[in-house]
Amino acid sequence: MLLNSFLLLAGLLFCIGVYGVLVRRNGIMVLMSVELILNSVNINLVAFGAFHGDVGGEVFALFVIAVAAAEVGIGLAIVLLMYRNRLTTDFAEADMLKG
Amino acid sequence: MIDLLAFARPPIDWHAAAPELTLLACGALLTLVDIVWLERAKAVSATLASFSLLAAMVPVVTLAVDGTDRAMFGGAYTVDDFSLVMKAVFLLTAYVVVLLSTDYIAKGDFWESEYYQMLLSAVLGMLVMTSARDLVTIFIALELLSIPAYLMATWHKVDLRSNEAGLKYYLMGVFASAVLLYGMSLLYGVSGSTMLSDINATISNSQAEGLLAVVVLGLIFVVVGFGFKVSAFPFHMWAPDAYEGAPTPVTAFLSVASKAAGFVALLSLVFVGFWDRSDVYQPLLWLLSAASMTGGNLMALRQTNAVRMLAYSGVAQAGYMLAPLAVAGESSATADDALSSVVTYLAIYAAMNLGAFAVIIAVARRTSSAEIDSYKGLFRYAPVLTVAMTVFLMALAGIPPFGGWFAKFEIVLALLSPGTAWGVVLGGVVGLNSVIALYYYARIASYMWVEAPPDNVQSSSPIKVPASVSAALILTGLVTLAFGIVPQWVGHFTDVSLL
């Protein structure tokens, strides 16, 4: 069973995603990075599901995929709204609220 | 292959699911009315939403009278004392939020019917969260309550500050739920099941199997993920910005209901899922609690805006509520005390914080500002609002006879009962922080009572408070006073157990 390779790939994707969220200042790029984390979760879930011979992992992964789609829909709507009002998707420039 | 035709629907206890189903049906009705009546639906949408919430209260009460614990789907969905109390808290909180929103949303340039539909779906997510005892259900409930909340924070579409609040809340929220999911996937990997009770059974003996590192990592990610939701320090960065920029009734909803939902999930995870791994979660929650109390209070000291100050005070309050969890694993008697004290705190916090926001909304009608300076001399032209605000602020600070003291008393009692050094030290931190917090709550009170009003306020005429906001003030004020003055009458409602 090659569980390790799947977990390593997922761990790598997770780290890239977290790095992207922390470093990128562009709304769209942060969204993409969050997607990377969610996909690392899916790999983990499916790999563990196969390892345990339990269908629960795959079902969980399906839920994650469906909910992530809804989440991204909302996120793009909010980023688009910001673009309409400010003509930028760079949220480093969104600095009206501070303190 | 799995034979699809052999699928049999698991038995469903309709009574147990009735609160959620009622809310779902009413939400669908609200949408239908909006589609059919279009503009004319605006007039009834707030009324319909508040009746939906009251209608969902009916099955909660009948379930409480019935009193038996019910479990569906192999225990993934449970209705017990804990979930019923929290369902009632969520429904009443949402009812008060509808009262606060009615006038605010109708007067501003907001989409009205959709606002209440979003509110109802978020509440539906919270009701599901109280009963969820399985990772998938917890995740679905979390998203069902978060996604409408992101939209509600952005509800003032043309206001750049509202856009920014929504964007920050959204980005931190999805990041947190992604980290949370990674932790959940690790816990699933260790236990091979998504049921919290199975996870507890597996992770308690995993040290022998050499999987402790994975369990610790999974636990940390899950707790951090919900740390964002309850805005615990150092995962609170989104809260002050989102609270300040969002429409004020939405802020009230986020700071009370959304935070409480995070706590409900943490409670069921700690008491059902991680119970036997107290060596891992206790130090983690101890640190989170002490950091939230101290960090939140110190940052609240230097705020000049009342909403931001309440945001940081909310961080500190989250710290108080996390505190009993840091000693919960000592014995099952301590665990019951800890759970009851957190549930009591959540109920009282909901009343006093919503009350404070009701006053802020009422005062902003005159001053159009939430700056602390604009509260100067409030007593001269709005004596009733000043008295109400003082009651809520003193309750938040924990001064008897207002509700907050009973909440803090229960917390400290739960911390001291096991008699461990860690619990006693954390009790000391709670005491110290209550003193710091008193300073910034009392500052607003002294501005209101002592100072002269600023020049730009015509202090002659009293503020006109809409009937719905007055009703919200009376409701929250009564609950705050009831818990403070006669805790022996109302305290037993929040006396629950999960073990």
DSSP codes joined into one string, B78-117: EE-HHHHHHHHHHHHHHHHHHHHHHHHHHHTT--HHHHHH
Is the pLDDT reported for residue B1 higher than 70?
no
Q: Which of B192, B241, B303 sits opposite A97 (nearest CB)?
A: B241
CATH classification of the domain holding A57: 1.10.287.3510
The answer to the question of residue A2 being in a domain is no
Residue B297 parent element (H or E)? helix B278-301
The answer to the question of residue A16 being in a domain is no
pLDDT value, residue B456: 66
The answer to the question of residue A58 being in a domain is yes
Q: Which of A64, A70, A91 sits opposite B147 (nearest CB)?
A: A70
The answer to the question of residue A67 being in a domain is yes
Residue of A61 and B40 predicted with greater confidence: A61
- A34 neighbourhood in chain B, CB within 8 Å: 171, 174-175, 178
Is the pLDDT reported for residue B41 higher than 90?
no
Mean pLDDT of B82-106: 92
Residue B251, classed as helix, strand or coil, is helix
Distance of CA B148 to the CA centre of its chain: 15
Residue B250, classed as helix, strand or coil, is helix
How many Å apart are CA B166 and CA B171, to the nearest integer?
A: 9
Is the pLDDT reported for residue B385 higher than 70?
yes
Number of domains chain A is built from:
1
- Measured over the CA atoms of residue B121, residue B122, residue B128 and residue B131, the dihedral's sign is negative
Give every CB contact of residue A66 below 8 A, 6+ residues apart in sequence. Answer: none
pLDDT band at B458 (very low <50, low <70, confident <90, very high): low
Torsions phi, psi for B77 (to 5 deg): -130, 110
Is the pLDDT reported for residue B399 higher than 80?
yes
- Highest average pLDDT, of B178-192, B203-217, B452-466, B482-496, comes from B178-192
Measured in angstroms, the CA of A20 and the nearest CA of chain B are apart by: 11
The answer to the question of residue A74 being in a domain is yes
Task: For residue range B223-280, list pLDDT tens digits in order.
Answer: 999 999 999 988 998 999 999 989 999 999 999 999 999 999 999 999 998 888 888 8
pLDDT value, residue B312: 94
- Cβ contact, residue pair B188, A27, below 8 Å: no
Residues B121, B123, B124, B129: what is their CA dihedral angle, to the nearest 10 degrees? 130
> How big is the CA angle at B51 (ends B48 and B56), to the nearest 5 degrees?
125
How many Å apart are CA B341 and CA B289, to the nearest integer?
A: 15
Q: Best mutation site among A40, A43, A59, A67 for testing chain B: the one with the most B CBs within 10 Å?
A: A67
Burial B315-332 (b: 16+ CB within 10 A, else e): bbbbbbbbbbbbbbbbee
Contact by Cβ (8 Å): B476, B352: yes
Q: Which of A34, A60, A99 sits opposite B188 (nearest CB)?
A: A60
The answer to the question of residue A76 being in a domain is yes
- What Å distances lie between residue B370 and B24, B67, B149, B180, B309, CA to CA? 35, 44, 22, 34, 10
Rounded to the nearest integer, the mean pLDDT of chain B is 89
- Cβ contact, residue pair A14, B182, below 8 Å: yes
CB pairs under 8 A between A and B: 129
- A91 neighbourhood in chain B, CB within 8 Å: 164, 167-168, 171
Give chain B's length.
Answer: 499
pLDDT value, residue A10: 94
**Which residue is closest to A19 within chain B, CA to CA?**
B175
- Cβ contact, residue pair B168, A18, below 8 Å: no
Task: For residue range B162-217, list pLDDT tens digits in order.
Answer: 888 899 899 999 999 999 999 999 999 988 889 998 888 888 876 656 788 888 89
Is the pLDDT reported for residue B377 higher than 90?
no
Mean pLDDT of A9-36: 92
How many Å apart are CA B200 and CA B280, to the nearest integer?
A: 13
The letter for the amino acid at A88 is T
Is the pLDDT reported for residue B103 higher than 90?
no
DSSP codes joined into one string, B416-445: HTT--HHHHHHHHHHHHHHHHHHHHHHHHH
Q: Which of A18, A60, A91 sits opposite B167 (nearest CB)?
A: A91
- Cβ contact, residue pair A75, B174, below 8 Å: yes
Measured in angstroms, the CA of B330 and the nearest CA of chain A are apart by: 32
Paired residues of B134 in beta bridges: B195
Mean pLDDT of B412-438: 90
pLDDT value, residue B273: 87
Q: Rg of chain A's alpha carbons, rounded to an integer?
A: 17
The answer to the question of residue A9 being in a domain is no
pLDDT value, residue B73: 87
| pLDDT cut 70: percent of chain B above it | 97
Residue of A10 and B373 predicted with greater confidence: A10
How many Å apart are CA B376 and CA B363, to the nearest integer?
A: 11
How many Å apart are CA B96 and CA B253, to the nearest integer?
A: 9
Q: Best mutation site among B134, B147, B163, B211 for testing chain A: the one with the most A CBs within 10 Å?
A: B163
- A54 neighbourhood in chain B, CB within 8 Å: 192-193
Task: For residue range B320-356, list pLDDT tens digits in order.
Answer: 999 999 988 888 888 888 999 999 999 999 999 999 9
| pLDDT cut 70: percent of chain A above it | 95
pLDDT band at B105 (very low <50, low <70, confident <90, very high): confident
pLDDT value, residue B2: 59
Contact by Cβ (8 Å): A34, A17: yes
Range of the domain at A49: 25-94
B464: number of Cβ within 10 Å: 9
- B188 neighbourhood in chain A, CB within 8 Å: 45, 48-49, 56-57, 60
pLDDT value, residue A1: 61
How many Å apart are CA B302 and CA B280, to the nearest integer?
A: 35
Q: Which of A49, A71, A91 sits opposite B147 (nearest CB)?
A: A71
How many Å apart are CA B487 and CA B119, to the nearest integer?
A: 31
Contact by Cβ (8 Å): B483, B351: yes
- B243 neighbourhood in chain A, CB within 8 Å: none
pLDDT value, residue B459: 59
